[in-house]
Chain A
């Protein structure tokens, strides 16, 4: 009989903020070391690159402005995705709902009645919301009534929405005398305003994001609607017993989630790109899944994590300006993400070395 050491993972019972911080920091550090080797191998100086990233992307006024802008679509998609994940619904169709939202909003701006300024902005936002919501509802109805797997349908619907978007941008909606797939600029009066705080320019969209996060948080805590969702997510059998309609709540949560992804489209349209472009969502809907997961579905954390992810996305461009090939730059983004997600595992579980006496 031999004594054997065995490793196993045990779920941590409590989460602590300090541990979260330390583990995340260590993960990022390890990722940077890893990327450093890559950067070094292509002939650049890793430390120089990191210094530029930090000062230009995360600390300079322009960097912060751009970081916040880039975070907008991530934030809204992330909030939407987190909402469905909380109810154990796998909505991985934020990408398509985003595109559907943009299409609906664009249809109003380009072909709707001439309403400009704030009213026009609100109507466009509503159109985007509805577009995303309807796109999600197409998957929610079969899920609620016949149990059709929503992971697959929402994913498939992404491709459809993206194709339609690309078709419109390259075809009927294309700006005349242009070679790239993009539409006319949105009227300037409908741009999402940006305000100055100190010397930093901040998009109003960020504040809207924070308000939406707060609304979601309060809805869960204080309303009967949020109460029903909590019961369903924690014990579907009890929900049935209490007469809470699971079908109705699936429909509601999915359309809300899709609507928020549609709003992400509006933020990009009216706040950042100012026009609709061919591949507008640019994986925001998928990155949102990672964001929602890392945020543990907490809406406020989603806001913060989205902003950091926005910065990470932007750093690609800065790093390129230092002579690092774009492929390496994009890879860096991936490496950091993988390390953070891997680190997250150690926040949820701990490694236990178990001594087993007898085999």
Chain B
């Protein structure tokens, strides 16, 4: 019988009014791999940040090795033996693996012996079957190898609990299998492992137990062998009431505006983020893209907007090949793009509303003549849009970074639709907005679609996708799993496809 090494009891964590974790109970046994499953924003990361001392819970208690503990800081957590591998690694690229590990070890000597350090790491990596060259520099390593260095860092410090935040997200399929095998070996040697994930298939395959978080609460806990796709899907996505379509009387026309044929795109790490994706979007149609974040949505939006190169395949706009066109040329062809990063891409945070309004149109006759900006015309255009879209401003000379998220989004949308686009790409249009603003944004999108604009809408919220879209394409791991008519499908089917299960 395995003993629980860690118990988190009734953990509640609030940020202002937002409840990120509510009465969460989690038990971790010695030598098990425990998966924490849930959608983005379900509270997985918050819970782990509480455990590693980054956040302090509002209420609840943590019992570790039988004693009640108060974890004061990340340092304290590590001293206790609780370590975490974050999604973004904390390694110094120019130092070797051994040096990185020793940086993390406070009790090391003042004078470092390279050989000694490397031998120590070598032994550690052999003990846990983690293949790492201790003298290699981090920047020369593959992502998988870097991840192993991160794990060794924790093991060398004597961690008994390893927490990994979406460890497979950065790996290729093969590397992921290898990594899970290594985790299994660690578990067998008595370590306990928590894996944060949102991939059902890998969780069912590699974990001992699964806890599903939803809306900050524990929805379900089960042994892996008891888990079925139905049960997990239900727990993750929930028994949501089926919301009837608000996009009634679809404005979809015959004319195909965007056509993608076998498009392959690489992500920033050089891995294929989109694998032979094909789709077409008609005028007046809203085409929804469902999928867990990080499965190629960002790359899809960027390749259409021209910000990312298509390695293979072709993209047609109104029958014309635009694959090789620059961003500027595509803007002229009336492709509008509402990006997911509002303040790093969609807007220049340090500039005013007026200045941001003409980001794409500063060169148009309406706003400049012979290279001189028509400040009055720009200001008038912004004033008109403030009124039309009910944008709340902080002051016209204030930087847009001071505006609320909803109003920033409205400003971006106002700019993008002002060019009378034929294709509108929007990534997570209502993310982070309150109900009112989200609804207003959706209304604007529906209006555009009635005007005959083809809309590509990427979202994580199934409600939103089902309400708005004519058709839904599901992306998983860069593959278009299926393209479904939103009237003829349901949440469960889409949920299953999102988790990587094939459609029969």
In the complex, what residues of A have CB within 8 A of residue B355's CB? 227, 230
Could you say which of A237, A240, A243 has the most chain B C-beta atoms within 10 Å of its C-beta?
A243
Decide if B371 touches A241 in the complex (CB within 8 Å). no
Decide if A231 touches B359 in the complex (CB within 8 Å). yes
Q: Interface with A: B10-18, B154-162, B342-350, which one?
A: B342-350
Decide if B328 touches A245 in the complex (CB within 8 Å). yes
Cross-chain contact of B307 among A228, A230, A240 (Cβ < 8 A): A240
Q: Is A283 an interface residue (CB 8 A)?
A: no
Decide if B337 touches A241 in the complex (CB within 8 Å). yes
A242 vs B348: C-alpha distance in the bound complex, in angstroms?
A: 10
In the complex, what residues of A have CB within 8 A of residue B337's CB? 241
Decide if A238 touches B346 in the complex (CB within 8 Å). yes
Q: Is A223 an interface residue (CB 8 A)?
A: yes
Q: Interface with A: B242-250, B271-279, B360-368, which one?
A: B360-368
Given contacts A223-B371, A224-B363, A231-B359, contact A241 B350 (CB under 8 A): no
A238 vs B360: C-alpha distance in the bound complex, in angstroms?
A: 10
Closest CB-CB distance, B341 to chain A, in whole Å?
A: 8
Q: List 12 A-B contacts (CB under 8 A).
A: A222-B375, A223-B372, A224-B368, A227-B358, A228-B362, A231-B359, A235-B344, A237-B341, A240-B307, A241-B346, A243-B328, A243-B360
Decide if A238 touches B373 in the complex (CB within 8 Å). no
Q: Is A323 an interface residue (CB 8 A)?
A: no
Closest CB-CB distance, A216 to chain B, in whole Å?
A: 15
In the complex, what residues of A have CB within 8 A of residue B386's CB? none
The 6 A-B pairs at the shortest CB distance, nearest first, are namely A243-B328, A243-B327, A235-B348, A242-B359, A238-B348, A234-B350
In the complex, what residues of B have CB within 8 A of residue A245's CB? 328
Q: Is A142 an interface residue (CB 8 A)?
A: no
A14 vs B375: C-alpha distance in the bound complex, in angstroms?
A: 26
Decide if A223 touches B345 in the complex (CB within 8 Å). no
A234 vs B362: C-alpha distance in the bound complex, in angstroms?
A: 16
Closest CB-CB distance, B293 to chain A, in whole Å?
A: 19
Chain A 236-260 interface 0/1 with B at a Cβ cutoff of 8 Å (1 = within): 0110111111000000000000000
Q: Is A171 an interface residue (CB 8 A)?
A: no
Q: Is A193 an interface residue (CB 8 A)?
A: no
A224 vs B372: C-alpha distance in the bound complex, in angstroms?
A: 6
Decide if A224 touches B327 in the complex (CB within 8 Å). no
Closest CB-CB distance, B209 to chain A, in whole Å?
A: 37
Closest CB-CB distance, A319 to chain B, in whole Å?
A: 45
In the complex, what residues of B have CB within 8 A of residue A235's CB? 344-345, 348-350
Q: Is B421 an interface residue (CB 8 A)?
A: no
Decide if A227 touches B373 in the complex (CB within 8 Å). yes
Chain B 328-348 interface 0/1 with A at a Cβ cutoff of 8 Å (1 = within): 111100000101010011111
Decide if A230 touches B351 in the complex (CB within 8 Å). yes
Q: Is B172 an interface residue (CB 8 A)?
A: no
Decide if B344 touches A237 in the complex (CB within 8 Å). yes
Could you say which of A227, A241, A242 has the most chain B C-beta atoms within 10 Å of its C-beta?
A241
Closest CB-CB distance, B358 to chain A, in whole Å?
A: 8
Closest CB-CB distance, A260 to chain B, in whole Å?
A: 20
In the complex, what residues of A have CB within 8 A of residue B345's CB? 235, 237-238, 240-241
Given contacts A222-B372, A231-B351, contact A241 B307 (CB under 8 A): yes
In the complex, what residues of A have CB within 8 A of residue B330's CB? 243
In the complex, what residues of B have CB within 8 A of residue A222's CB? 372-373, 375
What is the number of residues of chain A that contact chain B, defined by CB distance less than 8 Å?
18
Closest residue to B368 on the A side, CB-wise?
A224
Q: Is B397 an interface residue (CB 8 A)?
A: no
Further 13 A-B residue pairs, CB within 8 A, beyond A235-B345, A243-B327:
A222-B372, A222-B373, A223-B372, A224-B362, A224-B368, A234-B348, A237-B344, A237-B345, A238-B359, A241-B305, A242-B331, A243-B328, A244-B328
Given contacts A238-B359, A240-B327, A241-B337, contact A225 B344 (CB under 8 A): no
Q: Is B326 an interface residue (CB 8 A)?
A: yes
In the complex, what residues of B have CB within 8 A of residue A224's CB? 362-363, 368, 371-373
A227 vs B364: C-alpha distance in the bound complex, in angstroms?
A: 13
- Listed in ascending order, the chain B residues whose CB lies under 8 Å from chain A are 305-307, 326-331, 337, 339, 341, 344-351, 355, 358-360, 362-363, 368, 371-373, 375
In the complex, what residues of A have CB within 8 A of residue B362's CB? 224, 227-228
A349 vs B375: C-alpha distance in the bound complex, in angstroms?
A: 34
Closest CB-CB distance, A312 to chain B, in whole Å?
A: 34
A245 vs B348: C-alpha distance in the bound complex, in angstroms?
A: 16
Closest residue to B415 on the A side, CB-wise?
A242
Decide if A243 touches B349 in the complex (CB within 8 Å). no
A55 vs B351: C-alpha distance in the bound complex, in angstroms?
A: 46
A235 vs B347: C-alpha distance in the bound complex, in angstroms?
A: 8
Closest CB-CB distance, A189 to chain B, in whole Å?
A: 36
In the complex, what residues of A have CB within 8 A of residue B306's CB? 243
Closest residue to B327 on the A side, CB-wise?
A243
A344 vs B328: C-alpha distance in the bound complex, in angstroms?
A: 41
A222 vs B368: C-alpha distance in the bound complex, in angstroms?
A: 10
A223 vs B358: C-alpha distance in the bound complex, in angstroms?
A: 12
Q: Which chain A residues numbered 188 to 247 have a C-beta less than 8 Å away from chain B?
A: 222-225, 227-228, 230-231, 234-235, 237-238, 240-245
A299 vs B402: C-alpha distance in the bound complex, in angstroms?
A: 28
Closest residue to A227 on the B side, CB-wise?
B362
Closest CB-CB distance, A32 to chain B, in whole Å?
A: 38
Closest residue to A358 on the B side, CB-wise?
B72
A222 vs B326: C-alpha distance in the bound complex, in angstroms?
A: 26
A237 vs B344: C-alpha distance in the bound complex, in angstroms?
A: 6
Closest residue to B399 on the A side, CB-wise?
A234
A149 vs B208: C-alpha distance in the bound complex, in angstroms?
A: 51
In the complex, what residues of B have CB within 8 A of residue A242's CB? 327, 331, 359-360
In the complex, what residues of B have CB within 8 A of residue A228's CB? 362
In the complex, what residues of A have CB within 8 A of residue B350's CB? 234-235
In the complex, what residues of B have CB within 8 A of residue A240's CB? 307, 327, 345
In the complex, what residues of B have CB within 8 A of residue A230's CB? 348, 351, 355
A272 vs B163: C-alpha distance in the bound complex, in angstroms?
A: 70
In the complex, what residues of A have CB within 8 A of residue B326's CB? 243
Closest residue to A245 on the B side, CB-wise?
B328
A240 vs B373: C-alpha distance in the bound complex, in angstroms?
A: 20
Given contacts A223-B371, A224-B363, contact A243 B344 (CB under 8 A): no
Closest residue to B361 on the A side, CB-wise?
A242
In the complex, what residues of A have CB within 8 A of residue B351's CB? 230-231, 234
Closest residue to B347 on the A side, CB-wise?
A238
In the complex, what residues of B have CB within 8 A of residue A223's CB? 371-373
Decide if B327 touches A231 in the complex (CB within 8 Å). no
Chain A 306-342 interface 0/1 with B at a Cβ cutoff of 8 Å (1 = within): 0000000000000000000000000000000000000
A333 vs B348: C-alpha distance in the bound complex, in angstroms?
A: 41
Closest CB-CB distance, A232 to chain B, in whole Å?
A: 10
A227 vs B305: C-alpha distance in the bound complex, in angstroms?
A: 22
